């Protein structure tokens, strides 16, 4: 568990690099603004601006990372903030700011680096799109907003950038807006994540009201620093939970929406309607990981009041949701045939692993998987994009096959990504990051359930990836036309990502847990002896067995087979109803359709009916009663209002509805009533004011 | 107490006089009526901005003008502007200018049309600066008459019933308001807001009224609330609104939603809360229920509409519901500094929301006007599709307005709603928690509009749908820039209203 008790002292004075940290998100945002004003034919300029600005951000991010690193190597953990007052109301202030610490530094480098590769890849992938310029405008805006989420030292600033990220995700999913399915998927994504966001917003205002600040760190006065946390723990909420727990859970609801956790995962597979680089950048590597990052950022809140060796309610919820999501999505992935949908469910599943890792093992465990996953999942999506490109926009894996010969570079890199995702032992980064999660799960005291779920999920992961790779790259070519390898501008980023899909493992092994040490702020010792410890060896063996079983089983079922779409899947033959359920995504969308969405539509009709019939009806009745009354009042009917008006109103009333029939032509009646009231009151007034 | 008191140039009188003079000139200006109206509106905006920029820093009334009018009846000509008033003046001036800008296709009697618009603006200016009930009520009613005729004479096919319903309904509210206020006057002999607020803040007002008229204070509060509830509107007093908003010509709808609905909220803040704080606190729970219903059911009713104008009409109901939510939630005796902070957040949020909703809603109806010009009057939500293809700039700019209405951070709509929820949650957490549903449903409504109007394949009839031309882009750009500016730097406005918020809260007794 992350305690960091004997960690370094934090160095908090803001250095020069922290002062200019805001440039990292600002530069791509400005670029987006400039690109928005460009004319569509200025393709090259748009791409250059987008790539150049992000490269510039990467340089600053690297400098910031270097600053944190040099602090760490010289024995102090860096956590520098730059805060400012954004809004003053009453005597309170709303402060915003940014923070440079190991967590944000790592994330900054990852987002800018992976983002840059995907930007470059996009110039190839989107080369023939008529809205190329707009694509890079949205991409840059996304990068800026995402980097804003990363550096935010204020829950409000984070939320603002978070919503902007949601907007760009919406715009990019619906990029091909003329396809109704893309437009619908965009809307679904925005609304589903907004379900989480309204809870998130409540969490924000609650935290704000309770602690008086939304800053994370502010020299001891921040909202997730000890003083504030003590107050939150002491404040009761409901059901015996403290305010800290409930606020933590509300924030987690927001994170669950963004990170596609159960039960809000439904939007992410549909988001594959967006262009593939978008899927790689936003819906695999960065944005969907923002929820995980958020939980990591507010981790002190999530673990507030944790007894030694125990856990908290909030973290228990995070763990169970994560573990359940990991298995749920992996099961569905097994029975999908769209190359991107398989990866999408895989992403949902892996995000579940990250959440479970956070819940079980702390920030370092969850974040390490986030970082390795960002690289190998971006690699897989871009590989899938390369495949789709190479086979002329086909996405059904059953209509591919044998591509390892036609697309050797794509195949080699994809295989590395697949092995990293499956957690193939020792060589691949995914093994080490997943291993960390499983290890933490094994040690969990409150339940062994998550451990078994995650183990099962790992088998499934190896299985569905083997199935996919066999279908796509092995067997016979079943598509139409000739498959071709993608251009260099697309394959080079693949190779770079593949390199990291392997190399990143080095920083997170038990022998040299650099990643954890860096994040938690203590020295990392190299102890090769750890590799010899029985605990490690047992886990290594377990993981190896899991992965090899999954891959072996998958190969046995699907290896080198050349299925045709008409043919039923081997597993389908074994258990048709189970397969059908998985293929149909366990009917979650259908369930939401007949419950929430049906309620939404029905209640809209109720609201409309209430308006037209009930509230409108009462008005009609009242007016009718008054008009009857007025008929007795002929006395006042002395042509105050001229006849032309009456006539006009009569004419118009014939065109109106029920209300119109009752009301039209009565205006003068009301004027009269008003006049009568005024006269009566004036009389009373004068009478009563007599001495 | 009654005397003459002015600070140099009578700015507020000048402000109200400008559009009236403009109206008279416009009537006889022949073909340049719109130009005259535009000039008058620009001049008014300039004066309003001067007022806004020179407010007293302690949040009290500035630019006070006080002249005896009918002393025997307690009527005096008493004007003043604090942060709340001044912001409403600026809003009215901006929206009036937008409305005149949008109304460039008035073919029938343009002189009368623009004169009425200016008269309406004058009514707004008067109502937002009057400090005496009589004077205030005069302008409150005065603004109703041009609005009625603007709907009645230039509206859509069902304009007659819509105008009548609008007029009668608001008038009924006014009668309730007037009766209630006359009760106050009978007891106290005063119509002066400042004086009455002071009386109420010590609890004397209730004693005096009870001594003179018996225990009628709650009834007077109900009467006053009813008048404002109709105007805002608060559910279930809103049924006049969809018809009026959809039948009025769009530029007039801009005025109705952008400015006139604010008169109701303003009245709540200037009259209802200061005078009847204790009574409102006693009725707080049912009032909160109505506010939450306005937020949630307003949004949901919008989801059921097929006419884009009705969609945005109900969406307006929803957005003003947040104002009502904030107002009723803050009506509690503050027993701690934390509660005071929440009240200040809620009230700042309410006033910001008034301004932001005014700008955003007016802009949305402006886009409807532009849409109708291009579609030949068609404005059903299902009548379009894929317009983003032939009209990308139109789609982009209207998209910004729509996302502002949805409450996207970075645009103006978010800040007010955030502060309202910040204030309401600690004071009335159930109401706040239910009301967030409104945020979700509004998002669904707005994204559905975008989906149906702008995405999908383009039907053949709209293949040549003209995009915004340069003149229109230039006209819309300042408004959009303003929305971004407030979204990023809300302090620009809060600086002006916060002292007044603190000042008001210090004088209110719950």
Give the distance, in angstroms, between the CA of residue A201 and the centroid of all CA atoms in the same chain.
Answer: 15
**CB of B13 within 8 A of CB of B122?**
no
DSSP A298: T
SS3 A77: strand
Q: Residue A529 pLDDT more than 80?
A: no
Among all residues of chain A, which has the CA nearest to that of B302? A604
**Cβ distance of A664 and B403 shorter than 8 Å:** no
- From B239's Cα to the closest Cα of chain A, the distance in A is 6
Contact, A520 vs A4, CB < 8 A?
yes
Is A489 part of the contact surface with chain B (CB cutoff 8 Å)? no
Say if residue B1's pLDDT is above 50: no
Within 238-257 of B, beta carbons closer than 8 Å to A belong to 238-240, 242-243
Contacts of residue A338, defined as CB under 8 A and 6 or more positions apart, other chains included, come to A272, A395, A396, A397
Distance between CA atoms of A268 and A261, rounded to whole angstroms? 10
Task: Please state whether B214 falls in left (phi above 0), alpha (psi between -120 and 50) or beta.
Answer: left
Is there a domain that residue B118 lies in?
no
Where in the sequence is the domain holding B331, given as residue range(s)? 283-510
From the list A651, A688, A482, A467, the residue with the least C-alpha distance to A559 is A467
Q: Do A164 and B408 touch (CB under 8 A)?
A: yes
Tens digit of each residue's pLDDT (9 = 90 or more) over B320-357: 999 999 999 999 998 888 899 999 999 999 999 999 99
Strand-strand pairing, B75-81 and A80-89: unpaired
Contacts of B343 in chain A (CB under 8 A): 90
Mutate to test the interface with B, among A607, A616, A667 (most CBs of B within 10 A): A607
Q: Classify burial at A687, counting beta carbons within 10 Å of its beta carbon; exposed 0-12, middle 13-18, buried 19 or more.
A: exposed
Instruction: Report the pLDDT value the prediction gives residue A237, as an integer from 0 to 100.
Output: 72
d(CA A79, CA A101): 4
Segment B301-323, tens digit of pLDDT? 999 999 999 999 999 999 999 99
Q: How far apart are CA B220 and CA B238, in angstroms?
A: 21
Give the separation between CA A498 and CA A667, rounded to whole angstroms. 78
Determine the pLDDT at residue A415.
93
pLDDT for A125 beyond 80: yes
Arithmetic mean of pLDDT, B491-501: 93
DSSP string, A535-584: HHHHHHHHHHHHHHHHHHHHHHHHTT----TTSPPHHHHH-HHHHHHHHT
CA A682 to chain B, closest CA, distance in angstroms equals 9
**Across the interface, do B160 and A660 touch by the CB < 8 Å criterion?**
yes
Q: Where are the domains of chain A?
A: 320-362+386-583, 610-688
Residue reference for tokens 């690297």: A62
Q: How high is the pLDDT of residue A4?
A: 41
Which position has the token pair 């009806």? A617
Is the bond leading into B233 cis (omega within 30 degrees of zero)? yes
CB atoms within 10 A of CB B203: 11
User: Please, are residues B109 and B117 in contact by the beta-carbon 8 Å criterion?
Assistant: no
Mean predicted confidence (pLDDT) in A239-246: 85
Q: Sort out which chain A residues have CB atoms less than 8 A from B344's CB and list them.
A: 89-92
Q: How far is CA A120 from the centre of its chain?
A: 23
The continuous run of DSSP H or E covering A84 comes out as strand A80-89
* Encoded tokens for A260: 């596609």
Nearest to A196 by CA among A264, A111, A128, A280: A264
Please provide the average confidence, as pLDDT, over all residues in chain B: 90
Query: CB distance from B176 to chain A under 8 Å?
Result: no
Interchain pair B455, A174: CB under 8 A: yes
Q: Minimal Cα–Cα distance from A165 to chain B, Å? A: 11
Q: How far is Cα A116 from Cα A118, in angstroms, rounded to an integer?
A: 5
Whether B343 has its CB under 8 Å from any CB of chain A: the answer is yes
Look at residue B218 and tell me if it is in a domain. Answer: no
Kindly determine whether residue B457 and residue A178, on different chains, have CB atoms separated by under 8 Å: yes
Both structure tokens of A2: 């992350």
> Which residue of chain B is at minimal alpha-carbon distance from A619?
B239
Contact B407, B487 (CB under 8 A): no
Q: Average pLDDT, stretch B381-398? A: 91
Is the CB of A177 inside 8 Å of chain B's CB atoms?
yes
What percentage of residues in chain B have a pLDDT greater than 90?
58
Q: pLDDT value at position B110?
A: 85
**Minimal Cβ distance to B386: which of A178, A614, A656:** A178
Round to whole Å and give the CA distance between A402 and A408. Answer: 10
A428: part of which helix (H) or strand (E)?
none
- Give me the percent of chain B exceeding a pLDDT of 70: 99
Question: Is A222 a residue whose pLDDT tops 90?
Answer: no
Write the DSSP symbol of residue B68: E
Nearest to A90 among B189, B240, B345 (CB): B345
Overall size of chain A counted in residues: 691
H helix or E strand, kind and range, residue A99: strand A92-100
The pLDDT tens digits of the residues spanning A389-439 come to 888 888 888 888 888 888 889 999 999 999 999 988 888 899 999 988 988
Contact at 8 Å (CB) between B342 and B330? yes
Rounded distance between C-alpha atoms, residue A100 and residue A106, angstroms: 10
Closest chain B C-alpha to A219 CA, distance in angstroms: 22
Smallest Cα distance from B435 to chain A, Å: 10
CA-to-CA dists, residue B21 to A197, B43, B77, angstroms? 50, 12, 19
Please provide the DSSP assignment of A14-73 as one string.
Answer: --HHHHTTTHHHHHHHHHHHHHHHS-TT-HHHHHHHHHHHHHHHHHHHHHHHHHHHHHHH
Please judge whether B437 and A163 are an interchain contact, meaning their C-beta atoms are less than 8 angstroms apart: no
Domain count, chain B: 1
pLDDT confidence of residue A2: 37
Contact (Cβ atoms closer than 8 angstroms) between residue B123 and residue B142: yes
- Whose tokens are 């400008």? That residue is B18
User: How far is Cα B416 from Cα A421, in angstroms, rounded to an integer?
Assistant: 45
Q: Name the residue in chain A with its Cα closest to that of B495.
A: A88
| Residue-averaged pLDDT of chain A | 85
Backbone angles phi, psi at A668, to 5 degrees: -65, -30
| Higher-confidence position of B104 and B304 | B304
C-beta separation of A391 from A472 below 8 A? no
On whether any CB of chain B is under 8 Å from the CB of A190, the answer is yes
Please give the residue of chain A at the shortest CA–CA distance from B395. A177
B167 and A156 within 8 Å at the Cβ level: the answer is: no
User: What confidence category does residue A143 fall into, taking pLDDT thresholds of 50, 70 and 90?
Assistant: very high
Residues 6+ apart with CB under 8 A from A336: A342, A345, A464, A583
pLDDT digit string (tens) for A621-672?
A: 877 777 777 666 544 444 444 444 444 444 444 444 444 444 444 555 555 5
Alpha-carbon distances, residue A286 vs A28, A118, A142, A293, B222 (angstroms): 15, 11, 10, 10, 54
Distance from CA of B35 to the nearest CA of A (A): 30
Q: Is residue A349 pLDDT above 50, yes or no? A: yes
Q: Which residues contact A93 (CB under 8 A, 6 or more apart)?
A: A85, A86, A87
Query: Given B171, B425, B447, which is nearest A205 (Cβ)?
Result: B425
CA-nearest residue of chain A to B298? Answer: A607
* Tens-digit pLDDT profile for residues A540-597: 888 889 899 999 998 988 876 777 777 788 888 888 888 888 888 888 989 998 999 8
- Which pLDDT does position A651 carry in this prediction? 44
* Interface residue A650 vs chain B (CB under 8 A): no
Burial class of residue B7 (count of CB atoms within 10 Å of its CB; 0-12, 13-18, 19+): exposed
Give the SS3 label for residue A173: helix
Q: Which of B373, B364, B99, B107 is closest to B251 using CA atoms?
A: B99
Q: Which A residues 131-160 touch B at CB under 8 Å? A: 156, 159-160
Hey, what's the torsion of the CAs at A466, A471, A472, A475, to 10 degrees?
Answer: 110
- What is the average per-residue pLDDT within B89-118? 90
Q: What is the Cα–Cα distance from B510 to B507, expressed in whole angstroms?
A: 10
Q: How confident is the model at residue B96 (pLDDT cuts 50, 70, 90)?
A: very high
pLDDT in the model for residue A649: 46
Nearest one of B368, B393, B374 to B461, comparing CA atoms: B374
Instruction: Quote the pLDDT of residue A681.
Output: 54
* CA A544 remoteness from chain centre: 31
Q: Is the distance from CB of A86 to CB of A52 less than 8 angstroms? A: no
Q: Say whether A653 and B439 touch across the interface (CB within 8 A).
A: no
pLDDT of residue A370: 93
| Distance of alpha carbon A28 from alpha carbon B216, whole angstroms | 63
- A-chain CB neighbours of B501 within 8 Å are 89-90
Q: Kindly tell me if the per-residue pLDDT of B6 is higher than 50.
A: no
């Amino acid at each position: 568990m992350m305690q960091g008790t004997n960690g370094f002292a934090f160095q908090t004075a803001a250095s020069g690099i922290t002062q200019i940290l805001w440039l990292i998100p600002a530069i791509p945002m400005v670029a987006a603004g400039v690109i928005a004003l460009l004319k569509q034919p200025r393709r090259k300029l748009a791409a250059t601006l987008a790539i150049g600005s992000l490269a510039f951000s990467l340089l600053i991010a690297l400098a910031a990372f270097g600053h944190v690193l040099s602090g760490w190597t010289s024995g102090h953990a860096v956590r520098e903030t730059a805060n400012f007052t954004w809004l003053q109301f009453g005597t309170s202030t709303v402060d915003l700011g940014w923070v440079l610490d190991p967590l944000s530094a790592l994330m900054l480098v990852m987002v800018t680096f992976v983002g840059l590769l995907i930007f470059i890849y996009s110039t190839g992938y989107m080369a023939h799109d008529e809205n190329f310029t707009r694509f890079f405008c949205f991409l840059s805006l996304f990068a800026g907003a995402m980097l804003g989420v990363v550096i935010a030292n204020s829950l409000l600033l984070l939320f603002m950038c978070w919503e902007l990220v949601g907007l760009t995700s919406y715009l990019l999913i619906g990029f091909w807006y003329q396809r109704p399915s893309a437009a619908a998927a965009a809307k679904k994504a925005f609304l589903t994540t907004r379900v989480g966001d309204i809870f998130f917003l409540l969490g924000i205002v609650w935290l704000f009201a309770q602690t008086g600040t939304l800053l994370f760190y502010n020299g001891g006065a921040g909202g997730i620093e000890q003083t504030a946390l003590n107050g939150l723990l002491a404040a009761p909420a409901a059901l015996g939970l403290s305010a800290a727990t409930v606020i933590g859970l509300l924030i987690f609801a927001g994170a669950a929406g963004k990170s596609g956790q159960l039960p809000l995962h439904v939007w992410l597979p549909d988001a594959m309607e967006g262009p593939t680089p978008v899927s790689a950048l936003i819906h695999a590597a960065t944005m969907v990981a923002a929820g995980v990052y958020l939980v990591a950022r507010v981790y002190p809140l999530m673990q507030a009041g944790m007894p030694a060796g125990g856990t908290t309610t909030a973290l228990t919820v995070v763990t169970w949701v994560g573990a359940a999501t990991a298995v749920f999505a992996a099961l569905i992935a097994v029975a999908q045939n769209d190359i991107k949908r398989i990866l999408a469910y895989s992403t949902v599943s892996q995000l579940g692993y990250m959440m479970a890792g956070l819940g079980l093992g702390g920030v370092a465990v969850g974040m390490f998987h986030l970082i390795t996953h960002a690289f190998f999942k971006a690699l897989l999506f871009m590989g899938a994009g390369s495949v789709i490109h190479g086979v002329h926009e086909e996405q059904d894996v059953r209509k591919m096959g044998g591509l390892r010969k036609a697309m050797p570079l794509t195949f080699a890199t994809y295989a590395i990504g697949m092995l990293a995702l499956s957690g193939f032992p020792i060589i691949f980064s995914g093994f080490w990051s997943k291993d960390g999660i499983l290890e933490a799960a094994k040690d969990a005291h409150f339940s062994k359930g998550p451990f078994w779920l995650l183990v099962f999920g790992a088998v499934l992961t190896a299985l569905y990836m083997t199935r996919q790779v066999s279908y796509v790259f092995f067997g016979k070519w079943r598509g139409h036309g000739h498959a071709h390898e993608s251009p260099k501008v697309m394959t080079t980023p693949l190779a770079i990502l593949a390199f990291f899909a392997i190399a990143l493992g080095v920083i997170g092994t038990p022998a040299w847990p650099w990643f954890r040490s860096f994040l938690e702020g203590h020295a990392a010792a190299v102890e090769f002896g750890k590799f010899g410890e029985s605990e490690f060896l047992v886990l290594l063996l377990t993981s190896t067995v899991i992965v090899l079983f999954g891959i072996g089983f998958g190969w046995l079922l699907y290896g080198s087979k050349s299925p045709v779409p008409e043919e039923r899947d081997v597993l389908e033959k074994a258990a048709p109803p189970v397969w059908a359920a998985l293929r149909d995504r366990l009917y979650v969308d259908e369930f939401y359709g007949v419950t929430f969405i049906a309620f939404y539509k029905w209640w809209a009709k109720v609201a409309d009916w209430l308006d037209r019939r009930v509230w409108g009806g009462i008005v009609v009745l009242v007016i009718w009663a008054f008009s009857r009354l007025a008929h007795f009042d002929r006395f006042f009917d002395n042509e105050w209002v001229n006849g032309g008006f009456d006539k006009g109103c009569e004419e118009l009333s014939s065109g109106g509805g029920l209300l119109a029939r009752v009301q039209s032509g009565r205006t003068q009646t009301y004027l009269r009533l008003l006049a009568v009231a005024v006269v009566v009151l004036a009389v009373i007034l004068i009478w009563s004011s007599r001495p | 107490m009654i005397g003459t008191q002015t600070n140099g140039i009578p700015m507020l009188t000048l402000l109200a006089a400008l559009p009236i003079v403009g109206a008279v000139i416009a009537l006889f200006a022949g073909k340049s009526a719109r130009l005259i109206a535009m000039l008058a509106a620009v001049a008014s905006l300039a004066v309003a901005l001067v007022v806004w920029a020179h407010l007293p820093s302690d949040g009290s009334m500035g630019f006070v003008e006080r002249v005896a009018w009918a002393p025997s009846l307690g009527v005096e000509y008493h004007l003043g502007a604090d942060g709340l008033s001044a912001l409403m003046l600026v809003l009215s001036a901006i929206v009036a200018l937008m409305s005149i800008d949008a109304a460039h296709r008035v073919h029938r009697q343009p002189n009368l049309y623009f004169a009425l618009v200016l008269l309406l603006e004058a009514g707004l200016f008067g109502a937002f600066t009057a400090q005496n009930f009589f004077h205030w009520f005069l302008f409150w009613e005065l603004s109703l008459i041009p609005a009625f005729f603007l709907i009645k004479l230039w509206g859509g096919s069902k304009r007659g019933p819509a105008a009548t319903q609008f007029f009668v309904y608001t008038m009924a509210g006014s009668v309730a308001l007037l009766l209630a206020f006359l009760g106050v006057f009978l007891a106290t002999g005063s119509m002066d807001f400042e004086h009455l607020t002071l009386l109420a803040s010590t609890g004397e007002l209730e004693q005096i009224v009870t001594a003179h008229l018996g225990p009628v204070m709650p009834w007077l509060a109900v009467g006053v609330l009813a008048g404002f509830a109709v105007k805002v509107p608060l559910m279930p007093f809103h049924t006049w609104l969809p018809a009026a908003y959809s039948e009025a010509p769009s530029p007039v709808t801009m005025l109705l939603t952008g400015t006139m609905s604010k008169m109701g909220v303003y009245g709540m803040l200037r009259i209802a809360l200061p005078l009847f704080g204790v009574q409102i606190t006693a009725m707080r729970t049912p009032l909160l229920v109505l506010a939450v219903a306005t937020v949630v059911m307003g949004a949901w009713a919008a989801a059921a509409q097929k006419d884009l104008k009705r969609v945005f009409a109900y969406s307006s109901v929803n957005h003003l519901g947040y104002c009502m939510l904030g107002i009723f939630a803050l009506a509690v005796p503050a027993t701690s500094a934390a509660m005071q902070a929440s009240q200040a957040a809620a009230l700042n949020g309410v006033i910001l929301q008034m301004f932001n909703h005014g700008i955003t809603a007016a802009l949305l109806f402006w886009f409807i006007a532009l849409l109708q010009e291009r579609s030949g009057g068609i404005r059903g939500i299902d009548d379009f599709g894929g317009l983003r293809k032939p009209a990308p700039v139109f789609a982009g700019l209207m998209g910004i307005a729509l996302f502002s209405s949805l409450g996207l951070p970075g645009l103006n709509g978010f800040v007010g709603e955030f502060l309202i929820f910040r204030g309401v949650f600690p004071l009335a957490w159930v109401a706040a928690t239910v009301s967030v549903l409104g945020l979700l449903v509004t998002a669904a409504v707005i994204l559905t509009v975008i989906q149906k109007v702008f995405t999908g394949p383009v039907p053949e009839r709209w293949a040549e749908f003209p995009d915004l031309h340069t003149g229109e882009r230039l006209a819309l750009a300042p408004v959009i820039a303003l929305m971004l500016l407030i979204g990023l730097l809300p302090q620009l406005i809060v600086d002006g209203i916060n002292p007044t918020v603190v000042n008001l809260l210090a004088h209110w007794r719950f």
